[in-house]
Amino acid sequence: MERDPMYEYDLQDMINGTEKSLIINILKTCRWDKTQAAKKLNISRTTLWRKMKKYELRREL
């Protein structure tokens, strides 16, 4: 069965995109203070660091 090109994204892609956007928004709100951002996200600083690495997120100066 051929997939409809309109539905090329699967659930995991959508979850990852949403998670990445949320992390970016929180980091900007917290002025890239990772400790404060992790608290707002209710995750450890290490988990935030791993997710930043996964999504290749870096503060641009």
Q: pLDDT, tens digit, for every residue of 15-52?
A: 999 999 999 999 999 999 999 999 999 999 999 999 99
Model-level pTM?
Answer: 0.82
Domain count, the chain: 1
In a domain, 44, yes or no: yes
> Is the per-residue pLDDT at 5 higher than 80?
no
- Cα–Cα–Cα angle for 25, 41, 9, nearest 5°? 65
In a domain, 54, yes or no: yes
> By residue range, what is the domain housing residue 44?
29-61
**What DSSP character marks residue 43?**
S
In a domain, 43, yes or no: yes
> Is the per-residue pLDDT at 4 higher than 70?
no
